[in-house]
């Protein structure tokens, strides 16, 4: 019995190893295939009187792959492309966002953070051309333009139509 038992256990050990080997064949998580990114280049033109400097905590161009319904949606960073901070008090500014995953953006513009709260953002100007839709393609640069009129800010959330 003991000899048979030892062989049985040795066989089970081998079976366990084989099971593990087969189970582990696909290696689990792996780096996804790289997408060749594109980039967004843009120009922003300002008109109207700027808000006080103390109320402009941040100002960035934000391109979204979805239409936001609430400022809380601004936390869906994986569905957004965000520029660096834009200058305060200028008549016009430019920006470049590199390494943008290809795809369609449906709601984009300049966003103003008006309090220290990370969710206190609202749009001050939108990409209007082609109804606001633009695509980023691999290894290509997409050009956009935004006009900001501080006297006439776009509604937020955008109206359902």
Partner 1 sequence: MKRSASRFLLVAVLTAVAVPATAQVARVYGTVTDSRGEPLPGVNVVLKGTLTGTATAEDGSYEIPRVEPGPWIIVASAVGFRSEERPVTLVAGSGMRVDFALEEDIVVQGEVVVTASRRAQAAVDVPASVAVLSPRDLDRRNVISLDDALRAIPGVHLQENQVNVRGSSGFAYNTGSRVLMLLDGMPILTPDTDGVAFDALPFGRIERIEVLKGPGSALYGSGALGGVVNVITKPIPEEPETEVRTYAGAWDPVRYEVWRAGWDGADRYRVFSGVSIAHARRLSRVAGAWVNLSARQDEGYLNYSRSRMVTGYGKLAWNPSMAVRASLLVGLLVREKDNFLFWNGARDPLNPGSLAIAPPDGAAPTGSNDVFGNQVSVLPTVTHVTSGRFAYTVKGRLFGTVIRPINDLTGKPEPASKGTLGFRYGGEVQANWSPARGSEATFGAARDALATRSTFYVTENGDDTGGQPETAVFGQWEQDVSSTVRTTAGLRYDRYDVDEANAVERMSPKLGVTWRVLPQGTLRLAYGHGFRVPSLAERFTDNRDFFPIVRNPTLRPERSVSYETGFRTTRVVAGAWSVEVDAAAFWNEYWDLIEPRLETRVRAFQFVNLTRARIRGFEASADVRREDRGDLLRLGYTWLDADDLSLGEALAFRSRHQFTASLDVRVTGPWEVGADARLMSAAERVDTDFARFVPDADLLVPIRVVDFRAGWNGGTWRAAVLVQNAFDYYYAERPAYLAATRRFTVQVAARF
Q: Which residues bind partner 1 (CB under 8 A)?
A: 1-2, 5-6, 9-10, 12-13, 16-17, 19-21, 23-24, 27-32, 34, 57-58, 70-72, 74-78, 80, 82, 85, 116-120
By DSSP bridging, strand 141-149 and strand 134-136 are unpaired
Nearest to 97 by CA among 79, 108, 81, 76: 81
In the complex, minimum distance from the CB of residue 96 to partner 1, in angstroms, rounded to a whole number: 15
Contact between 150 and 55 (Cβ < 8 Å): no
Which C-beta is closer to partner 1: that of 13 or that of 135? Answer: 13
Q: Two tokens at 52?
A: 């006080």
- The distance of closest approach from Cβ of residue 130 to partner 1 in the complex, given in angstroms and rounded to an integer, is 25
**Residue 86 Cβ, how far from partner 1 at the closest point, in Å?**
13
| Cα-based angle 19, 22, 23 (whole degrees, multiple of 5) | 80
Q: Which is nearer to partner 1, 27 or 53 (CB)?
A: 27
């Amino acid at each position: 019995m003991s000899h048979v038992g030892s062989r049985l256990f040795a066989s089970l050990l081998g079976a366990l190893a084989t099971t593990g080997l087969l189970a582990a064949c696909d290696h689990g998580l792996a780096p996804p295939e790289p997408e060749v990114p594109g980039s967004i280049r843009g120009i922003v033109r300002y008109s109207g009187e700027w808000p006080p400097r103390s109320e402009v905590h941040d100002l960035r161009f934000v391109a979204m792959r979805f239409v936001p319904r609430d400022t809380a949606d601004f936390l869906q960073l994986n569905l957004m492309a965000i520029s660096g901070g834009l200058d305060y008090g200028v008549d016009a500014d430019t920006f470049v966002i590199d390494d943008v995953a290809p795809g369609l953006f449906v709601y984009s513009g300049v966003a103003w953070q008006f309090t220290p709260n990370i969710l206190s953002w609202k749009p001050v100007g939108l990409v209007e051309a082609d109804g606001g839709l633009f695509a980023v393609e691999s290894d290509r640069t997409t050009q956009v333009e935004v006009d900001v009129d501080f006297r006439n800010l776009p509604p937020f959330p955008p109206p359902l139509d």
